[in-house]
């Protein structure tokens, strides 16, 4: 028996993001992130921005540390193989810095 294929809706027509990860990042109850935070060059600045966003968010349901680390991990995982090694390394260093800034060494 043959499975019928269904046509995907265009994101331009429906006004919704093409990928579910974009929607999660935008509408998640975790944090309101500063635009371009994951593109910053300094891991300390990435960690500081995530910490600030987590501490000031009224939408998060968990601790500030957990929310910030979750969003960072989510971004790294969703980028997958398309994330350049230099940026992946920078984001991994931001994880360490985030732990340090929250006193979780």
Q: For residue range 24-62, what is the model confidence (pLDDT) as tens digits?
A: 666 665 567 788 888 999 999 999 999 998 898 877 788
H helix runs in 42-102, sequence order: 43-56, 64-79, 85-101
User: 52-103: per-residue pLDDT in tens?
Assistant: 988 988 777 889 999 899 889 988 998 888 999 999 999 999 999 999 999 9
pLDDT value at residue 11 = 46
Residue pair 91/72 in contact by the 8 Å Cβ criterion? yes
Tokens of 26: 């935008």
Q: Among 79, 71, 60, which residue's Cα sits nearest to residue 37?
A: 71
Q: What does pTM read for this prediction?
A: 0.71
pLDDT at 1 over 90: no
């Amino acid at each position: 028996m043959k499975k019928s294929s269904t046509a995907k809706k265009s994101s331009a027509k429906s006004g919704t993001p093409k990928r579910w990860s974009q929607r999660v990042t935008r509408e998640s109850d975790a944090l309101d992130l500063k635009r371009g935070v994951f593109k910053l060059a300094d891991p300390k600045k990435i960690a500081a921005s995530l910490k600030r966003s987590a501490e000031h968010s009224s939408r998060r349901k968990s601790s500030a540390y957990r929310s910030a680390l979750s969003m960072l991990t989510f971004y790294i995982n969703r980028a997958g193989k398309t994330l350049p090694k230099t940026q992946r390394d920078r984001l991994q260093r931001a994880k360490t810095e985030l732990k340090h800034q929250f006193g979780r060494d």
